[in-house]
Structure 1
Amino acid sequence: MQNKTIRIGTRDSELALWQAHTVQDKLNNLGYSTTLVPVKSTGDIVLDKPLYELGIIGIFTKTLDIAMINNDIDIAVHSMKDVPTALPKGIVEAAVLERANVQDILIHKGLDFLQTQGIIATGSLRRQAQWLHKYPEHSVVDLRGNVNTRMQKLQNNDWNGAIFAAAGLERINLKPKDYLDLDWMVPAPAQGAMLVVAKEEDTYCLEALSNLDHIDSNTCVRIEREFLRELEGGCTAPIGALAKIKEDQVHFTGVLFSLDGKDKIEISKTIGLKDIKNFGKSCAQEVLSKGGKELMKKIKADLK
């Protein structure tokens, strides 16, 4: 067996480094030699514009894609919800690690505002639309930066709360005791999952990473991302999707909202695990036929 040191590319935020170290530890435990290569992404540097205004699909993953194509790194570790559904030519999904908590949570300064008017911070169109759907009298402000930066901004501003992915805060021990579980909010496709990508021709790394793949997690995120891809969501539409496996059944919920949260198209379906081929795609086609096509056109026009 060829015995090379696997260079693991990662963003340099605390959460990204935690994820990369997790993959590194798992590979080291299997007897592989590894080294970390931190890289700064445009998404981390440009913090004064909402993500959709930057106009780059996969803004957090692009820098690492380039590093891999330039042969500066061998593999890259991502929060899977940040990864575009179409990977660059020559780069493939090598492993989906066991999924963590999928929920969104609200970090708040007291909950009295829920009955009146409030200001909620989030950089996600999906979270914004779902919050406004439930609380139309509230206003939503843009919040960017890594987890630590966003936590600090919440403290420094007069906002009532900010929405975070539970998994990110749990991974770096930043989840406070006092938070609100938003179990009514449909998460982003692949939320809570970590993806490792590698070069298609790199059989050594692909074989190494195949040991880390969690089959049930991989199955669920594949359905969710298929739903997203068929809706042409990328990172710029309020789309939520969640698949769960119970015994030999897959339970799926998918939603598409208008930007202001007023319009909502939802689908919930259950299917046998052996019948999941094109399941995410067919769920998306149903959403598109129920008015989703017109809604996606409107979203794209509004974001221009």
Structure 2
Amino acid sequence: MSKVIRIGTRDSELALWQATTVQNKLEALGHATTLVPVKSDGDLMLDKPLYELGITGIFTKTLDVALLKGQIDIAVHSMKDVPTALPKGIVQTAVLERAEATDVLVHLGTDFLEGEGTVATGSLRRRAQWLHKYPNHDVVDLRGNVNTRLIKLIENGWNGGIFAKAGLQRIKLLPKDAIELDWMIPAPAQGAMVLVALESNQEVIFASSALNDDNTAIATSVEREFLRKLEGGCTAPIGAIAKISDGHLHFEGALFSLDGQKKIETKKEVPVSEFQGIGEQCANDVLNNGGVELMEKIKNEISSVN
């Protein structure tokens, strides 16, 4: 395209790594680009857990506004941070090939796993799943970008903290002794990067859509459909992962109570050609198996602390 593509991004080290990756890919296709870093509300408001803030898209809202004001041409997001309903006038243009979706435990020693301990995370999903497996542990809130969270973990002397493996790998901060939590169901779209642009900006949509990875786009669409049907606008401990192999899509999803004591899960395998609607079907399985009552309980418990 003829003009320089302005790439909007959060200004953390990980977000800048993601945006630079997109920049390099677009420039390899012959497009001129420039990065436009901004600081999101989610990066500024660190004194409360995310679920207490009650704001949908707290890490993406600032970039959405910049798009709508014409200050940037595309925004690069960690897809798990993006609300399942995009603002009017903004569309998804590409999902890049996914990195590993696994969570990992960064720790100061593993003896605590056999007894009592304190683990840090700002995620309701991670908190609930950790308590499901380790009900005797304490889980404390941990906010900030990846670098900040690693520093807080060390300074506070907590036994461990839970992080996305992909984020630590991308900025070369994954400790060699980090434990892969292969039993923990990831956040919907974890490990994936998504590009969004104005629906009216067809030139930018055409240019950026060349970066789309079909398998990742399909898998994340199923996971986000599962999330959208379950959530109903309420933050909740929801995990979902879809994987494609040998022409089939394998899906696993679950809803947990806030304290981790209750888990409602679903699994399904279908030909990839039949992926449409699978996320909603699996969400309905959860809702019909006690999920409606559990979601209502979660909403009430979150409302009581807001």
State the TM-score bracket (shorter-chain normalisation): over 0.9
Q: Any runs of at least 4 consecutive aligned residues in structure 1 with deviations exceeding 2 A, and if so which?
A: none
What is residue 245 of structure 1 aligned with on the other side? Answer: 244
| CA distance in structure 1 between the partners assigned to 2:157 and 2:7 by the alignment | 39
**Aligned residue for 1:45?**
44
Retained in 2: the 8 A contact 1:84–1:234? Answer: no
Query: Over residues 73-130 of structure 1, what are the superposed CA-to-partner deviations in whole Å (9 max), with x where a residue is unaligned?
Result: 0100000000000000000010000000100000001111011000000000000000
Structure 1 letter corresponding to 2:228: R
| 1:210 correspondence with 2:209 | yes
**Cα displacement (A) at 1:158:** 2.1
1:135-154 correspondence to structure 2 within 5 Å: 135-154=134-153
Q: C-alpha displacement at 1:235, in angstroms?
A: 7.0
What is the Cα deviation at residue 132 of structure 1? 0.1
* Contact 2:106/2:162 (8 A) holds in 1: yes
Is 1:97 aligned to residue 100 of structure 2?
no
> Take 1:94 and 1:88, find their aligned partners in 2: how far apart are those partners?
14
Q: 1:146 to 1:233 in 2, by over 3 A?
A: farther
Q: Equivalences for 1:196-275 in 2 at 5 Å?
A: 196-232=195-231, 236-275=235-274
* Residues 186 and 240, structure 2, Cα contact 8 Å, conserved in 1: yes
Q: CA deviation at 1:65?
A: 0.2
- Aligned twin of 1:34: 33
- What TM-score do you get using the length of structure 2 for normalisation? 0.98
Q: Deviations over 1:117-176 (max 9, x none)?
A: 000000000000000000000010000000000000001012100000000000000001
**Matched AA of 2:251:** F
Matched-pair contact (CA < 8 Å) for 2:102–2:165: yes
Contact 1:80/1:194 (<8 A) preserved: yes
**2:173 maps to which residue?**
174
Residue 240 of structure 1 aligns to a residue whose secondary structure is strand
Counterpart of 1:111 in structure 2 is 110
Distance 1:198 1:64 in 2: 10
**Distance across 1 between alignment mates of 2:90 and 2:292:** 30
Cα distance in 2, alignment partners of residues 233 and 47 from structure 1: 25
CA distance in 2, matches of 1:292, 1:207: 40
**Please, what is the CA RMSD of the aligned residues?**
0.8
| Cα distance, 1:234 vs structure 2 | 5.3
TM (norm. structure 1) is 0.99
Percent identity, aligned pairs only, is 64
Aligned mates of 2:250, 2:79 — CA distance in 1: 20
Report SS of the residue matched to 2:84.
Answer: coil
Measure, in 2, the Cα distance between the counterparts of 1:234 and 1:100: 27
Aligned length: 303
1:154-173 alignment runs, 5 A limit: 154-173=153-172
CA contact (8 A) 2:6 2:36 kept: yes
Letter aligned with residue 249 of structure 2: V
Whole-angstrom distance in 2 between the partners of 1:28 and 1:201: 22
Task: Classify the secondary structure of the residue corresponding to 2:211.
Answer: coil
Q: Distance in 2 between matches of 1:294 and 1:161?
A: 32
Counterpart for residue 291 of structure 1: 290
Residues of 2 paired with 1:282 and 1:203: CA distance? 33
Deviation at 1:233, TM superposition (A): 5.9
Letter in 1 for 2:210: N
How far apart in 2 are the matches of 1:242 and 1:192? 11
SS class of match (2:97): coil
Inter-partner Cα distance in structure 2 for 1:6 and 1:233: 35
The AA in structure 2 aligned to 1:115 is: E
- Partners of 1:92 and 1:161 in 2: how far apart? 38
